[in-house]
Structure formats: C-alpha cells, structure tokens
Chains A and B, each alone.
Chain A
Amino acid sequence: MNVTGFLAQLFAIALALFLAPLLTGWVNMCRAWLQNRTAPPLLQQYYMLHKLFNKDVVLAHGASSLFRTAPFIVFGCMVLACAIVPTLSTDLPFAPAADTIALVGVFGLARIFISLAAMDVGTSFGTLGGRREMLVGFLAEPALLMVIFTTALISQSTSVATIVETLARREFAVYPSLAFAGVAFTFVSLAENARVPVDNPATHLELTMIHEAMILEYSGRHLALIEWASSLKLYAYSCLGLALFFPWGVAAGDSFPALVASIPALLFKLTIGGATLAAIETVNAKMRIFRAPEFLGTAFLLAVLGLLVRLLLETRV
C-alpha cells in the first residue's frame, strides 16, 4: 500500500462524506419539484446536520450503552461501504478489503445494530420498527446477493473492483442477465434505503413507518450521525448500482489527476440517478407492509432468473 494510494482512498472517502448529504438533498429537491411543492434548498441536509450536532442529546431513561454506541458503529459501517464501492477509481487500497459479499455483510452489520438500538429503549414503535427493518432486510439481502452473483459470474470474480473493470472494459454486448439483475437491484435499493414504495422517508405516520420508527428516540449528535449514515447508504447504493450497470467513467488508476477527472462523470451519473429515484418515488404509492414480501420476492426471483439465464444461455457466448 503506497502513500498515493492511501491518500486517494482518503480523498474518495472524504468526497463520499461530502457528497452524500448533497445527493439526499438533490433527491428531495427533485421530489418537491415533481410534486409541485416549493423545493428545500440543496444544502438543507447540511443545515440539518449542523443543527443536530449543536443540540443536546436527549436520552430516554431506558437507553443502554448499546443505544449510544450504535450510531457510531452504523456510521462507521457506511464509511467502510463507501470506501469499498468504487466511486472514483477501481484501484484503491481498501478495495480488496472486502468483496461484494462482504459489502452485503457490512450493510447487514449496520442493519443489526440499528434494529437492536431501536429495540433498546423498549417502546412499542421501536420494536415495531426493528422487526420491520429485519423483515425487509432478510427479504432484500438474498436478492442483493443474487444480483451480485450474476455480475460475479460474468466477471468471474466477486471483487467489486474487478467486476466494474470487467464490465466497463468489455466490448459492447447486451447481457439479458444484467437486465434482470438491474431491475432486481433497483427494487432492492428502494427497499434498503427506506424509499417509496416500501417505506416513506418523509412520514411519521405511526403505522406505516419503518426506518423512522427505529430512530424515533434518537436526538442530537446521534440522530445526526444516523441521518448522515442514511445519506451515505443511499450514496453507496447509488454508486454501486452505477458502477455495476453504467460502469463508464470510473478511473482505473489511483493517480490524483485520474481521480479528479472521474468526478464530473460521477456527478453527472448521480444527478441523473437522483432524479430517477425522485421520479420513481413520485409515481408510486407506498405499499402495505405485507406487500413488501411480494415486492422483494419478485426482486429475488428476477435475480435468480438472471443467474439462471447467465448460467444456461450465456456461458457459451
């Protein structure tokens, strides 16, 4: 591990920390426009983080040490996820630290901590949120793994960097399996990032919320870290999706000019991706919680179909 590589890695992480709230703000703006509302400013997320960091932490009497540790761990997991996903370059020193399966594991670790923290105070909504989050999690995780396996079979590797390199530098060909995987991945990302139609990030209506129900008892810096971590998760998922299905423009080296040169492409892709996400959220209605298994089951089946298509039809191509 050389110094340039390490610095490039730090740069990628810092960029993720900086861009993630911006992405969330951009999605919220687009959504407001599409819904004929006055849009909040693009930097709204920063204002909110700053405000929350300044506020006191108000802890419930029943909160244990786990409750206070969990936001930091969740935040750490998301930073790691952003370090692994090739946002700017495929040749960063932390890339071999975890392949795609481990990446799913990082998200799983964060999910377990946030669900446990939700159950910690022992309120009705907290446990409800924790249970629902685990429900969505165990439905989404296998589907995500299947998506990843499809891409891994194409590139004969589970390392994110190798997958992206293979997909970016292949001769242009249409892979039907990738189409299946892409649709499944979209479904999974909507569910995992607590978006409509599975969850609604804007609601505090008791019976429909999932993510918000879990973090009801959080305040101050803890809440700020969790909100930041949610933004980072959306950023990581977006970058992963973009890297897997639109892999062009990601640098192959870790030199500084190459990294900087790949930023415009990333920004462009994220802008389009964020707008698409807002459009999906606008044209869909939130489902009942027990429709979520059907939704994610469809994603799982699509992903398995993609895998089978890859194995049966494309192996001889």
Chain B
Amino acid sequence: MPALLSLDVLLIAALAWFAVGLAGLLAPRNTGFIAKILFPIGALVGAIAGATALRFLGDSPQVAVLAIGLPDLPFHLRLDNLTAVFAILLGFVSVGISVFAAGYFRHGEGTAPGLLCFEYHLFLASMLMVLLADDGYAFMVAWESMALSSFFLVTTDHRHAEIRRAGYLYLLIAHVGAIAILLSFGVMTKGSGDYSFDGMRAQQLSPFWSSAAFLLALFGFGAKAGLLPVHVWLPEAHPAAPSPVSAMMSGVMLKTAIYGLLRVSFDLIGTTIWWWGVVALLVGLATAAFGVLYSTVQSDMKRLLAYSSIENIGLIAVAIGLTLIFHAYKMDGLAALAMTAALYHCLAHSGFKSLLFLATGSVLHATKERSLGKLGGPIHRMPWVAWLALTGVIAGAGLPPLSGFVSEWLLLQGFLFSPGLPHPWLNMIVPVGAALVALVAALAGFAMVKFFGIIFLGQMREENLKDAHDAGWWERAGLAWLGLITVLLGVLPTTAISHINAATHQLLGVGLGERLAAQGWWMLAPISPGRASYEPVIFLCVIAASVLLGRWLVRRLYHGRVRRTQAWDCGYWFQGPRAQDTAEGFSQPIRRIFEPMFRMERHFPGVRDEKPYYSVKVEDHFWHWLYLPIAKLAGGVSTLIIRLQGGRIAIYLLYSFLTLILLLLVARPT
C-alpha cells in the first residue's frame, strides 16, 4: 500500500472537521462534551493539517479527482506550494482559536452550542477545501459553503436586530463578490467550457480579456478581503460575531481571499500587465490609509480591530501591487521580495489579529463590556490576557522585534529599491507610496496604544469591573499559542521565509530563500548584507540584556525599595476614573487633524445646559456616498416594479393573457 500523500491527509483533515461538526449535532445542548472534547479534537486536526502542509513545502504538486460534483465535472483537487503556505496558516492559527473556543463557548449563548460547533467546523473544512480546489466549480462550492457557514456564525446572537442586519450586509457583499469571481472564472475559460484550473492555465487570453479577468478577481476577492470600497461589511460583521469567529474570519478567512487573488493573478491568468499592479497598489494604499484612520477613532474594541484588519489587508494589497509591477517588468529579485512581504504579512497578521480578537473575547466575558469608554484596568485582574495581548499590540503596531515589523520592513525595502522602473511617473508613485506606508505604520501604533491603553490600563471606569476574573486555562493556552506564533515569526524571519520561499518560487520562478540561507538563520538580508539587514535575535538579546543587567546593577549598587501611595498627578485633587481619557478623547487629535476624512455628528454642551453632555459619532463616508444612493436606487426601482402587483387575481390573469398573446406574436415555429 502506498504511503498517504499529503493531499490525502489534508482531505482527511477536512473530512474530520466535517465529522467533528456533525458529532456536535448529536448532542446539541451538551456544552461540556462539545467544548471540552470536540473543539480540542478540532484543534488537533488543525495541528495535523498545518504540520502536513509544512512538511509538504517544496515538493511537486499532488492532484486528485473526487467522484462528486457535476456529472461531467468532478471535483479536482490539487496541493501545491501556494496552497500549502495558506494551509499552514489555516491549520496552525485554527489550533489557537479552537483551543481558545474550548474555554470560550462554555456558557452556550445564542445558538445552541452543537449547532455552533457544526457551523464552526464546517467553516474550517470549507476554507481548507477552498485552498485545495482545482477547478472553478469545486472552488465556488467551497467558497459558498465558507460564506454561508460564516454567515450563520456571525448571526449566532440573532436575537439582536443589529446583528441580523450585520449578517445580511455580509451575505449581500459576499455574494456580489462571488458573482464577480464566477465571472472572472468564466472569462478565463475563454468560452471553452473547461472550468478546471488546468484548462484556465492553458488558455491564452488577449490583454483586454485578461485585464477583465484580473479586475473582476480583484473586485470579487477584494469584497471578501475588505478592500475599498467593498469593506463596509467588515466593521459590522466582526463585532457581531462571537470572538473566536471574529478571530477566524479576520485571521484566516480574509487570507483565503488573498490566496484567491494570488492564485488568479499569478497562476491562472498567466500574463501580467504592469498597470494591474498600479491599480492594486493604489487600491491597497487607499484601503490601508482609510482603515488605519478609522481604526483610531473607534469606540468599540472589535470595530477598532476590524478597521485595523482593513488596514492590514490594504498593506498586503500594496505588496501584491508592487509584485505585479516588478513581475511585469521582469525585475525578478524585487518581485520575489515584494511577494515575500505579502505572504509574510498574511502569516503575521493571522497570528496577531486572531490573538487580539481572542483577547477582546476574554475581556468581553470577564466584564460583559466591549465599549472602550466603560473598560479600564483589567491588567490588574487579568494579567495573562493583558500581557499576551500586549504581544499582539506590538506586532500590530509593526514594531520590532515581533512579526508585524518583518513584513513592513520587507515592504519598505521593496519600495526603496524600486527606482529603475521604466515609467518616470511610476517612479514618482513609489516615494509617495512609501510615505503613505510609513504614515500608516505610525498611525497603526497610535490605534494599538489606544486599544491597549484604554482597555487594559488605567483605573476601572465602571464599578462592575472589579469582579472581572482572568481567563481560564483553555483560553490562556489559545492566546499563548498565537503569541508564540507572533514571537517566532518576529524573531526567526529567515527560517520562516525559507519555508514560504517555495510558494514564491512557484508563482514567480524566483525566491529569496537561497540568498537568505547563505547568510545564516539569524540574519535577514533580502538583497545583500551591505544594502539592508535585520537581525531580530541580536536585537532582542541586546534589549533583554540591558533590561536584565540594568535591573541587576541597580539592585546591586543601590536598593530595591518600593513604597505605595496615592498617585501624585501634579497635586490635582480629582483623581477619579472619569479624569482619564475616554476612547473619544484619546482620538481627538486624529479627528482634528484629519477632519475632512470623517463624517462626524457631534453634540457639544452649551454654557447653560442643566445636564451637559458631549457626544460624537463618526461614520463612514462610503456609506453615505456610495451605499445609501445604491440602496435608494434599488428601493426606487422596486417601488416602480411593485405597482405591477395589484393584488387582484383578475389583473394577474390579464398579465398571463397578455404574455401569451405576446409570445404568440413573437415566437414562431422554426
């Protein structure tokens, strides 16, 4: 009997997830069984899937055909290096989230836990199938089951009208995107009717049609990933969903859209035209800047993270845009650099954003509160969650020595060494792009400080926060796992890049890995050590050594005495929790500096108000400029059409009669 192929193992993993989900349906109300047995099994399956994909990296593609699907179009499956990189991401990140969920779903809120377990594991299995699919039909089936299962997960707490509304918006945009993806596949088949990916690769498209396919894919996958202007579902759906689901959607599902975009633009279409890259670059820059600005002014912790996800997806799109430009001009080394930045940011963002979403889940459970303005001080009650969240915050702010910095560093290197492009005005875009990326990174720091500082630090803003308790061991383990991923990706970038190198090779024909391997595992120098290098290990060691040595010396030479007393605060007498910044207060400088970027409704207290209050509401411009007009138009058209419905049977009979007459007049027998 031949040994199991990696593809078989992954397929079995998908089936196992499905089976775990079904098992949940057997005892839908038995929370203990579902949380403490099924979710850990799901995590184990995730670990196996991730490890299998990791071991596969660098091998030649494996294909399989399943005997299900349409009669003349069975499911084609294929495991190659690009799939493997994203399967690693899915597998390992889902481990942390599933372990966390084992502790999180203990109460059984909203939907019955068994149903939730089924939806959750179906979601995981369909994401894996999206990665494995090798024909348009299988891809769309998996894609749709992913969208549907996540829709039901988002509406877990469906008794609230706003959550149903968020779910509806998500479903709507997901389907607009799915139509675009389907059309893109249709264009790529060139009318041959062969929907397998191999068939699409074989077609030679004219520049017009390949551009159409690319733009449709960018729109369709962008709708799932949250690119401008189809991002509006993200800040609605993420806060509505339970935290492990938000973590899964933000950490993993958005990346399947990136996977799809990479698959179509570098693998299926086969050619690259330089202006595609410019489009992706500009859309990405706009998305990143928009996302980070809005994330700084949010008052709901999960909305803040959702906008921050939009920002990160924007940065990934920027990296993909750069890759397309370099690839179109055959600048292979730089293309590999930018592609590595894109893939690395996918991995890094999965780790730290899932971590942060899960941390908000723990805070939510402990305090029943998700508005930043009513939190404060949990670091005293929940030190584990706070310190692990701090890891995610530093990575999310793009600071060394954690994972978010590596990809931003690679991206900036890609920008910096790009001069030499044939178009002079392309060379002009590059510094402006680099400046924007730098601004986005700095603003991300602001948003992350706001997130951590207002939630975890300071005095408790409400009385009930005193009862908060630290997360249980399952939740801590899940958070710690994701924290470990964040640290490892930050400290060992060269090792990680030598692994994702296989995918870069597959898509571009070149990779960074060989050059990096020659310099040793501790050094990251994508072009040459003289040009740019980064050694996070030494970095970390110097900081750690000075911290420890400094502490030891101070204790040794002086003393370690500590006294506790009231805070000084310049002698100011009022020190209650109300004296601290609220979420709105903290972001006031941003609202003031970038005022035209926001749509604000503010109420200021007057001089003689008996009960003065201040309120500010920040809304999305796109909502008012794009979505409401479309909704209005659709509503108007519907009211016109509704006039046809008289509600009386005689009128409907008249319609049928008229139609019949018309058909008799028009249609002729041939």
| A is bound by B | yes
Q: Provide the residues of chain A in CB contact with B562, threshold 8 Å.
A: 56-57, 59
Q: Provide the residues of chain A in CB contact with B443, threshold 8 Å.
A: 138
Give per-residue flags for B239-262: 1 if the beta carbon is below 8 A from chain A beta carbons, else 0.
000000000000000000000000
A71 and B5 CA atoms in complex are apart in Å by: 53
Q: Which of B36-44, B474-482, B578-586 is near enough to bind chain A? A: B578-586
- Is B567 located at the chain interface by the 8 A CB criterion? yes
Q: Are A102 and B446 in contact (CB under 8 A)?
A: no
Q: Provide the residues of chain A in CB contact with B604, threshold 8 Å.
A: none
Which size bracket describes the interface of B in this complex? Answer: 35 or more
Give per-residue flags for B443-481: 1 if the beta carbon is below 8 A from chain A beta carbons, else 0.
101101110111001110000000000000000000000
Q: Are B539 and A131 in contact (CB under 8 A)?
A: no
Q: Are A53 and B550 in contact (CB under 8 A)?
A: no
Q: Contacting B534 at CB < 8 Å: which of A62, A98, A134?
A: A98
Q: Provide the residues of chain B in CB contact with A96, threshold 8 Å.
A: 523, 525, 529, 533, 535
- Is B432 located at the chain interface by the 8 A CB criterion? yes
- Is B110 located at the chain interface by the 8 A CB criterion? no
Give min CB distance, A254 to chain B, whole Å: 16
Which size bracket describes the interface of A in this complex? Answer: 35 or more
- Is B628 located at the chain interface by the 8 A CB criterion? no
Q: Are A75 and B550 in contact (CB under 8 A)?
A: yes
- Is B642 located at the chain interface by the 8 A CB criterion? no
- Is A19 located at the chain interface by the 8 A CB criterion? no
Q: Are B409 and A102 in contact (CB under 8 A)?
A: yes
Closest B residue to A218 by beta carbon equals B568
- Is A197 located at the chain interface by the 8 A CB criterion? no
Q: Provide the residues of chain A in CB contact with B531, threshold 8 Å.
A: 156-159, 162
Q: Provide the residues of chain A in CB contact with B551, threshold 8 Å.
A: 72
- Is B569 located at the chain interface by the 8 A CB criterion? yes
- Is B204 located at the chain interface by the 8 A CB criterion? no
Q: Is the contact region of chain A dominated by helix, strand, or loop, or is it mixed?
A: helix
Q: Are A76 and B543 in contact (CB under 8 A)?
A: yes
- Is B546 located at the chain interface by the 8 A CB criterion? yes
- Is B558 located at the chain interface by the 8 A CB criterion? yes
- Is B572 located at the chain interface by the 8 A CB criterion? yes
Decide yes or no: A120 and B542 within 8 Å by CB, A101-B412, A102-B400, A304-B435 being known contacts: no
Q: Contacting A109 at CB < 8 Å: which of B399, B431, B453, B544?
A: B399
Q: Contacting B445 at CB < 8 Å: which of A65, A83, A108, A307?
A: A108
- Is A35 located at the chain interface by the 8 A CB criterion? no
Closest A residue to B378 by beta carbon equals A64
Q: Provide the residues of chain B in CB contact with A216, threshold 8 Å.
A: 568-570
Give per-residue flags for A102-144: 1 if the beta carbon is below 8 A from chain B beta carbons, else 0.
1001101101100110011111111110111011011101100
- Is B405 located at the chain interface by the 8 A CB criterion? yes
- Is A288 located at the chain interface by the 8 A CB criterion? no
Q: Are A153 and B533 in contact (CB under 8 A)?
A: no
A102 and B593 CA atoms in complex are apart in Å by: 27
- Is B517 located at the chain interface by the 8 A CB criterion? no
A301 and B454 CA atoms in complex are apart in Å by: 32
Give per-residue flags for B543-569: 1 if the beta carbon is below 8 A from chain A beta carbons, else 0.
111110011001001110111111111
Q: Provide the residues of chain A in CB contact with B589, threshold 8 Å.
A: 131-132, 135, 290, 293
A216 and B575 CA atoms in complex are apart in Å by: 14
Q: Are B412 and A138 in contact (CB under 8 A)?
A: no
- Is A58 located at the chain interface by the 8 A CB criterion? yes
Q: Provide the residues of chain B in CB contact with A285, threshold 8 Å.
A: none
Within 8 A of A (CB), among B410-427: 412-413, 416-417, 419, 424, 427
Give per-residue flags for B100-121: 1 if the beta carbon is below 8 A from chain A beta carbons, else 0.
0000000000000000000000
Q: Contacting B530 at CB < 8 Å: which of A61, A162, A315?
A: A162
A–B complex contacts, Cβ < 8 Å, 15 sampled:
A60-B565, A61-B567, A65-B379, A97-B535, A105-B405, A108-B445, A111-B445, A119-B580, A134-B449, A134-B450, A157-B532, A159-B529, A162-B531, A220-B561, A225-B554
What 9 new A-B contacts, CB under 8 Å, besides A56-B559, A97-B533?
A58-B563, A76-B543, A98-B534, A111-B445, A122-B567, A142-B439, A221-B558, A293-B589, A304-B432
Give B contacts to A, CB under 8 Å. Answer: 376-377, 379-380, 383, 386-387, 390, 393-394, 397-400, 405, 409, 412-413, 416-417, 419, 424, 427-428, 430-432, 434-435, 438-439, 441-443, 445-446, 448-450, 452-454, 457-459, 523, 525, 529-535, 538-539, 542-547, 550-551, 554, 557-559, 561-570, 572, 574-575, 577, 579-581, 585-586, 588-589, 592-593
**Nearest 9 interchain pairs by C-beta:** A122-B458, A122-B459, A60-B567, A142-B438, A119-B453, A76-B546, A138-B442, A127-B581, A97-B538
